Amino acid sequence: MRELHDLVHSPHHLLVFEAAARHSSFTRAAQELNVSQPAVSLAIRQLETTLGARLFARGHRSVSLTEAGEILYHDVSSGFARILETARALRRQGHQSHVTLSVSTAFATYWMVPRLAKFHLLHNDIDLRLQTTDKDLDLAQEGVSLGVRRGYGDWRGYASALIAEEELIPVASPRFAEAHPEISSLEALATHRLIHLDEPYRPRPTWKDWFAAMNVAYHDRGEGLRLNDYALVIQTAMAGEGIAMGWRHVTRTLLEQKLLVQIGSWSWKSQAGFFLIWSSDTELSPQAEVVRRWLIETAQGSI
**Domain extents for the chain?**
2-94, 97-303
Which of 66, 50, 63, 67 has the alpha carbon at shortest distance from 19?
63
| The CATH fold of domain 2-94 | Arc Repressor Mutant, subunit A (1.10.10)
| The CATH fold of domain 97-303 | D-Maltodextrin-Binding Protein; domain 2 (3.40.190)
CB 168 within 8 A of CB 246: yes
What Å distances lie between residue 219 and 87, 208, 237, 241, 249, CA to CA? 56, 7, 21, 20, 27
Q: Where are the beta strands (DSSP E) in 60-218?
A: 63-65, 98-103, 127-132, 146-151, 158-172, 195-197
- pTM confidence score: 0.66
Spatial separation of the C-alpha atoms in residues 21 and 7, rounded to whole Å: 19
pLDDT digits (tens, 9 = 90+) for 222-245: 777 899 999 999 999 999 999 999
pLDDT of 135: 77
Residue segments in the chain with a per-residue pLDDT below the cut of 50: 95, 303
pLDDT of 303: 42
pLDDT digits (tens, 9 = 90+) for 40-75: 999 999 999 988 999 999 887 789 999 999 999 999
pLDDT of 217: 87
